[in-house]
Amino acid sequence: MSTLFPKPILDLPEADIPIEGVKAYLSQGPNHQIIFMSFAEDVDLPEHSHEGQWGLVLEGKIELIIDGKKNTFSKGDRYFIPEGIKHSGKIFAGYADMTFFNQKDRYNVKR
């Protein structure tokens, strides 16, 4: 999975995401973040909400329950979760995406 992202992405700071098996790189803007993520393990996401989130699936599959509706997204699909909407789901091993968060402090740089 590490060959999915080119060197300029791999040279970004690593994002501190408290999920086992995730590798994530952080592009920080003044009012947003873009995270490039890949998952080596299956992950169950508990229900939560935050600022708006838009994602583009690069590899694999993710199931998201967005505002009570179950959706399955795979390579090439896009998803959008509006601000404050509760969501949960399952990320499958081998999944990778590029995610835009309309929030400047969703994640910190891993120390």
pLDDT of residue 80: 98
User: Quick check: helix, strand or coil at residue 70?
Assistant: strand
pLDDT of residue 2: 52
pLDDT of residue 96: 98
pLDDT of residue 6: 96
Half-sphere exposure of 72 (CA within 13 A, CB side): 3
pLDDT of residue 1: 46
Is the distance from CB of 32 to CB of 42 less than 8 angstroms?
no
48-60 pLDDT, tens digit each = 999 999 999 999 9
57-80 pLDDT, tens digit each = 999 999 999 999 999 999 999 999
DSSP symbols for 28-53? E-SS-EEEEEEESS-EEEEEE--S-E
Q: Walk along the chain (111 residues) and give the pLDDT tens digit of each residue.
A: 457 999 999 999 999 999 989 999 999 999 999 999 999 999 999 999 999 999 999 999 999 999 999 999 999 999 999 999 999 999 999 999 999 999 999 999 999
